[in-house]
Amino acid sequence: MKRLSLFTLALGAALATVAASPAAAQVAPPPPATTAAPRTATVTRPRSILFIGNSFTQGAHSAVKRYRNNTVIDLNGDGYGGVPALFKLFAAESGLNYAVSLETDGGKTLGFHWNQRRQLVDRQWDVVVLQELSTLDRERPGDPDDYRTYAPQLAAMFARNNPRVDVYLMATWSRADLVYQPGSPWSGKPITTMAQDLRRAADGVRALSPAFRGVLPVGEAWNRAIASGIADPDPYNGVAFGQVDLWTYDHYHASIFGYYLEALVVFGRVTGLDPTRLGANERAADDLGIDPKVAVQLQQVAKAQLALP
């Protein structure tokens, strides 16, 4: 009995010691799970492009003029969409993010934009497209002197704001009204001649400044479309069946087909992408009522022209 009592007392003391143990001696709970910090989406700054020009950039006398004007910024507040809006859509369809602006005034030269509007555009841009008057000089058609003065001045201004800016010169198309009607330096000459003259003038200007990245061969693409039988060469004697008229009703400005081809050339040269990637289901062609087959043909023309220097 004495041994049992001693055992009972020892067991009670041991139990009392365990009960009195501090909480730190117990098994600690697992640490809370670590919550990963939320990922921040990477936002890529859109590439900025500015178009400076006149009615040939505005898309005048066609459905292109106000087309998707809510997708671009008209710095003059005129509400134009034009070729810049076509470029914007082509870029978006190709997965590219461009912030597109335009500063245009019908019938004006680059000299006008330098003297009257440069305060609107004197800022940093990634890309600038300069489009000169269709005859280069209103009083002296075909004379590039003012072109050679003001285009380099604009390029120098843009290069000061962004030394890496790409400035392009647009060489536009032959005007049927100046070729098939009397009174102009191009009257009676082949329809291709005026576009070729404008390209030579642009090449001469390009050589004046390292800021010029290249020439946009819009007029030569028109020549190619005519030579390929896609477009009719003379709207004054009617448009042949199965062909399109690149000019609008005044035989001066472009039609939807002409502006579409213009925008394809700009898109291909500026982005470096193949215009034929847009394909038969391209949205602007559908919106403007261009036959998908014709849209593809014009894309092929732009691709072929851009393959040349």
User: What pLDDT is stored for residue 142 in this prediction?
Assistant: 98
- In angstroms, how far is CA 222 from the centroid of its own chain? 20
Residue 187 has pLDDT above 80, yes or no: yes
User: What pLDDT is stored for residue 25 in this prediction?
Assistant: 40
Residue 26 has pLDDT above 70, yes or no: no
Q: State the amino acid at position 33 in one-letter form.
A: A
Give the residue from 154, 97, 162, 98 showing the smallest Cα distance to 124.
162
Residue 213's H or E segment, with its range, is strand 212-217
Average pLDDT over residues 55-69: 98
Domain boundaries, the chain: 47-306
User: What pLDDT is stored for residue 10 in this prediction?
Assistant: 43
Residue 286's H or E segment, with its range, is helix 283-288
Residue 228 has pLDDT above 70, yes or no: yes
Q: Determine whether domain 47-306 maps to CATH 3.40.50.1110.
A: yes
Average pLDDT over residues 245-273: 98
For the chain, give the mean pLDDT.
91
Give the pTM: 0.86
What residue spans of 193-255 are helical by DSSP H? Answer: 193-206, 218-227
Q: Are 268 and 302 in contact (CB under 8 A)?
A: yes
Banded model confidence at residue 30, pLDDT cuts 50, 70, 90: low
User: What pLDDT is stored for residue 18 in this prediction?
Assistant: 37
Number of Cα atoms under 13 Å in the Cβ half of residue 145: 5
Q: Are 100 and 271 in contact (CB under 8 A)?
A: no
Residue 217's H or E segment, with its range, is strand 212-217
pLDDT digits (tens, 9 = 90+) for 150-159: 999 999 999 9
Query: Which of 49-72 are b and which e, b meaning 16 or more Cβ less than 10 Å from the residue's Cβ?
Result: bbbbbbbbbbbbbbebbbbbbeeb
Residue 15 has pLDDT above 90, yes or no: no
